[in-house]
């Protein structure tokens, strides 16, 4: 877990927000982890994508995007494209996707946005 993710986890907990870490939304959409997952994912046109955090009742996925200033995977061509595909599929499956940077977590902007998103969804 990155330092940004650790800090956001503390903020979420401090506000009483229950999340699932490393939530496998692709696997869940394909019937859950376990025997036959690869085949079910392939048949559904999905991958075993994970999100840093999920507020499942609100259908909110939260991603802390690292590497923005270090040419990390999320900002290079193939990684950026893969992330766009992942987020598009999450939205197609009915999830709201909130992306933030470690700086947004540190400043408190990320938790403020999450709280506002949860008000919108009625959580």
Predicted TM-score (pTM) of the model is 0.87
pLDDT of residue 21: 97
Query: For position 79, what pLDDT does the model report?
Result: 76
Where are the alpha helices (H) located in 2-122, listed in sequence order?
3-14, 25-29, 37-44, 77-92, 102-107, 109-120
Task: List all residues 6 or more positions away from 46 whose beta carbon is below 8 Å from its beta carbon.
Answer: 26, 29, 30, 89
Find residue 26's DSSP bridge partners: none
Q: Where are the domains of the chain?
A: 3-21+51-118
pLDDT digits (tens, 9 = 90+) for 56-96: 999 999 999 976 545 656 565 677 899 999 999 999 999 99
Per-residue pLDDT, averaged over 91-109, amounts to: 97
Neighbours of 64 (CB within 10 A): 24
What architecture does CATH give domain 3-21+51-118?
A: 3-Layer(aba) Sandwich (3.40)
pLDDT tens profile 11-39: 999 999 999 999 999 999 999 999 999 99
């Amino acid at each position: 877990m990155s330092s940004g993710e650790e800090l956001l986890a503390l903020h979420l907990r401090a506000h009483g927000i229950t999340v699932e870490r490393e939530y496998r939304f692709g696997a869940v959409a394909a019937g859950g982890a376990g025997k036959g997952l690869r085949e079910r994912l392939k048949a559904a046109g999905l991958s075993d994508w994970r999100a840093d955090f999920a507020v499942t009742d609100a259908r909110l996925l939260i991603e802390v995007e690292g590497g923005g200033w270090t040419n990390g995977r999320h900002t290079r061509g193939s990684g950026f494209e893969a992330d766009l595909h992942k987020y598009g599929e999450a939205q197609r499956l009915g999830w709201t996707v909130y992306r933030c940077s470690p700086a947004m977590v540190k400043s408190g902007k990320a938790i403020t946005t999450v709280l506002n998103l949860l008000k919108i969804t009625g959580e």
